[in-house]
Structure 1
Amino acid sequence: MADAATTLTLSRLPKTWLIDVDGVCLAHNGHLRADERLLPGVREFWAGLGADDMVILLSAREESWRAPTLALFADLGLRVDQALFGLPVGERILINDKKPGGLLTAHAVNLARDAGLESVRIDLDPTL
Structure 2
Amino acid sequence: MGKIILSTLPKTWIFDLDGTLLKHNGYKIDGLDTVLNGVKEYLDNIPAEDRILILTSRTSEYEQKTLDFLEKQMIRYDEILFNMPVGERIVVNDRKPSGLDMAVAVNVDRDQFVVPEIQTEL
Normalising by structure 1, what TM-score?
0.87
2:15 aligns with: 19
Q: Among the aligned pairs, what percent are the same residue?
A: 40
Work out whether residues 12 and 51 of structure 2, in 8 Å CA contact, stay in contact via their aligned partners in 1.
yes
Q: Which of 43, 46, 55 matches 2:43?
A: 46
Q: Structure 2 residue aligned with 1:8, among 4, 9, 16?
A: 4
- Which residue number in structure 2 is paired with residue 72 of structure 1? 69
Letter in 1 for 2:13: W
Secondary structure of the residue aligned to 1:113 is: coil
TM-score of the two chains, using structure 2 as the length reference: 0.91
Unpaired runs of at least 5, structure 2:
none
Mapping for residues 1-128 of structure 1, pairs under 5 Å: 5-33=1-29, 34-116=31-113, 118-125=114-121, 128=122
Quick check: 1:27–1:35 contact (8 Å CA) kept in 2? no
**Aligned partner letter, 2:96:** K
Counterpart CA distance in 1 for 2:118 and 2:68 is 27
Does the 8 A contact of 2:40 with 2:76 survive in 1?
no
What SS class does the counterpart of residue 42 from structure 2 fall into?
helix
Post-superposition shift, 1:6?
4.4
**Deviation string, structure 1 residues 1-46 (Cα, Å, up to 9, x no partner):** xxxx343211111111110000000000011121311112201211
Q: Describe the SS at the equivalent of 1:120.
A: coil
Provide the aligned length of Structure 1 versus Structure 2. Answer: 121
RMSD: 1.3
